[in-house]
């Protein structure tokens, strides 16, 4: 083995897999002279960076002073031989560059390791259908891109709809493949899919790959990603990845600046709320971070100041949570739940045209923002004209969609609108009239006494007002599978405080307890002796 450590990079090429070849040698970045370079060396660079085959070798600090003598089949530039005989006196006018045929990329996620999955086949980029798309598939993409661990596997064009071909469908990776194209699928271009189902991935972050096994291990085991659990991709309990293990964040000092960093890191728009007291249910295992103190401008949560990892006097009843605006926000209306409608697309906020804007569309926005019912659907720039792109026009929601981006609309390039017609919404803002969260207490994360958050108060539920359909929603919201048993008579112990005074009327297919109807007709005068509990199949 060589007695030095390289870090290899392609610079100033406009993308990860094209640019000037730079190598780190003994703490100093060096370029490579084109006199010492050929297609075999370029092949090793492309292979090492996970960028596929060589498309082109481009010719014409310090310059690397030795000749690289790659055979072309090496897995890393580290394994190429070098010649110390200096044959040429090169300047930076002779710096070499490489263009590789990168085979997978993540698009419109705001950073290199997050976005819509696109693959290169026959010289053309295309998307991947989300049929069967799961965390094993996402793990392969993150590994191929040197982006650390897979945090989430997303569907339904979460990062916007792509265009052109859909190359892959029903992808079935074992999780150990080196590239996505090595996973099983019906064949290139064989699908019955459209771009509303484009697959996406969130990875934990870029893995700095050094040519020394011990250094690789140390770096990979200390990469920390972030995810939100118990709500959706953009709302939930904050969990961070450290030393290969997911753990929670204590809510001591947790505020909107900290939440803003989490939402930015996940590509989820702006922070809508910083939540405490295990709003999305208590986590389990390690509590990695406490006394988090972000300025709000950090690119990742791990860059914020906090106490030492895992050093805290906290418990899971104080787990921190976040609600992000995801892909829609209301602006210039005086509150978070009223204003001009703006949507996030391709990393940029833009407006919605007021043509055909109605109460069904407004209802979807209010639901997505957890802002209660739609009170009014406004047009003609009622809250003032916006600026930048107009992303959506002729929006047509049925009213039952979970997000505005799932409603049909004209493509952004085909509208005939201007900002004088920007759409607006007023929501009821009665957030405290809704059940904002649910947790299971006294057993495990997936079994225990049912407690619901209403306003800022946790309440137990009477066993006479709770049935199998309600249990299905509770287990689904907590990511715990199907309900196994509904137990009455305080089976997991008597709770404290209030007993929920209304009857839950869930249909059973709701994604969160928030969306269930309630009846204000009090049928029972329950005490904590009648607290209901649920056992879910998950662990």
Mean predicted confidence (pLDDT) in 366-389: 87
| Confidence band, pLDDT 50/70/90 cuts, at residue 33 | confident
pLDDT at 16 over 60: yes
So what's the pLDDT on residue 118?
A: 93
Closest by CA to 408, choosing from 392, 391, 396, is: 396
Half-sphere exposure of 391 (CA within 13 A, CB side): 20
The dihedral sign for the CA sequence 145, 150, 156, 157: negative
pLDDT digits (tens, 9 = 90+) for 400-455: 887 888 888 876 556 789 999 999 998 876 444 556 678 999 988 889 999 988 76
Least trusted range by pLDDT, from 111-115, 253-257, 297-301? 111-115
pLDDT at 347 over 70: no
pLDDT digits (tens, 9 = 90+) for 472-501: 999 988 888 899 999 999 999 999 888 887
| Confidence band, pLDDT 50/70/90 cuts, at residue 100 | confident
| Confidence band, pLDDT 50/70/90 cuts, at residue 212 | very low
Q: Which residue has the tokens 């459209």?
A: 194
pLDDT at 395 over 90: yes
Q: Are 204 and 151 in contact (CB under 8 A)?
A: yes
pLDDT digits (tens, 9 = 90+) for 145-165: 877 778 778 888 888 899 889
| Confidence band, pLDDT 50/70/90 cuts, at residue 213 | very low
So what's the pLDDT on residue 346?
A: 64
């Amino acid at each position: 083995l060589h007695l030095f450590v390289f870090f290899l990079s392609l610079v100033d090429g406009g993308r990860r897999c094209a640019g000037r070849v730079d190598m780190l040698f003994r703490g100093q970045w060096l370029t490579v002279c084109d006199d010492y370079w050929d297609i075999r060396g370029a092949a090793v660079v492309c292979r090492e960076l996970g960028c596929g085959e060589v498309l082109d070798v481009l010719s014409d600090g310090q310059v690397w002073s030795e000749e690289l003598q790659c055979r072309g089949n090496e897995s890393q530039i580290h394994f190429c031989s070098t010649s110390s005989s200096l044959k040429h006196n090169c300047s930076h006018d002779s710096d070499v560059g490489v263009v590789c045929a990168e085979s997978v990329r993540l698009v419109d996620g705001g950073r290199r390791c997050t976005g819509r999955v696109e693959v290169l086949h026959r010289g053309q980029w295309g998307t991947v259908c989300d049929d069967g798309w799961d965390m094993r598939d996402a793990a392969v993409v993150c590994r191929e891109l040197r982006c650390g661990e897979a945090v989430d596997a997303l569907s339904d064009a979460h990062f916007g709809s792509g265009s052109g071909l859909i190359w892959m469908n029903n992808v079935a990776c074992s999780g150990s493949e080196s590239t996505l194209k090595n996973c099983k699928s019906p064949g290139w271009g064989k699908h019955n899919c459209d771009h509303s189902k484009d697959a996406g991935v969130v990875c934990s972050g870029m893995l700095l790959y050094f040519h020394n096994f011990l250094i690789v291990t140390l770096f990979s085991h200390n990469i920390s990603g972030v995810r939100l659990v118990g709500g959706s991709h953009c709302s939930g309990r904050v969990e961070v990845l450290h030393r290969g293990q997911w753990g929670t964040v204590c809510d001591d000092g947790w505020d909107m600046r900290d939440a803003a960093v989490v939402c930015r890191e996940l590509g989820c728009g702006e922070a809508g709320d910083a939540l405490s007291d295990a709003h999305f249910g208590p986590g389990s295992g390690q509590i990695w971070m406490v006394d988090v103190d972000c300025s709000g401008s950090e690119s990742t949560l791990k860059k914020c100041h906090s106490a030492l990892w895992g050093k805290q006097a906290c418990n899971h009843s104080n787990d921190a949570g976040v609600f992000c605006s995801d892909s829609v926000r209301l602006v210039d209306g005086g509150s978070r739940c009223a204003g001009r409608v703006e949507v996030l697309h391709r990393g940029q906020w833009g407006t919605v045209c007021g043509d055909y804007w109605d109460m069904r569309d407004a209802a979807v926005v209010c639901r997505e923002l957890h802002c209660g019912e739609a009170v009014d659907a406004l047009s003609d720039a009622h809250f003032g004209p916006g600026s930048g792109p107009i992303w959506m026009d002729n929006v047509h929601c049925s009213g039952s969609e979970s997000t505005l981006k799932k409603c049909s609309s004209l493509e952004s390039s085909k509208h005939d609108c201007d900002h004088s017609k920007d759409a607006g919404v007023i929501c009821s803002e009665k957030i405290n009239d809704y059940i904002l969260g649910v947790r299971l207490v006294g057993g495990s994360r997936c079994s225990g006494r049912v407690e619901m958050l209403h306003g800022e108060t946790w309440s137990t539920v009477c066993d006479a007002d709770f049935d199998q359909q309600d249990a299905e929603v509770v287990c689904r919201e907590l990511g715990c599978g199907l309900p196994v048993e509904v137990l009455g008579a305080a089976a997991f112990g008597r709770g404290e405080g209030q007993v929920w005074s209304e009857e839950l009327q869930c249909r059973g297919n709701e994604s969160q307890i928030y969306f269930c109807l309630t009846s204000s007709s009090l049928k029972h005068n329950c005490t904590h002796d009648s607290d209901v509990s649920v056992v879910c199949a998950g662990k």
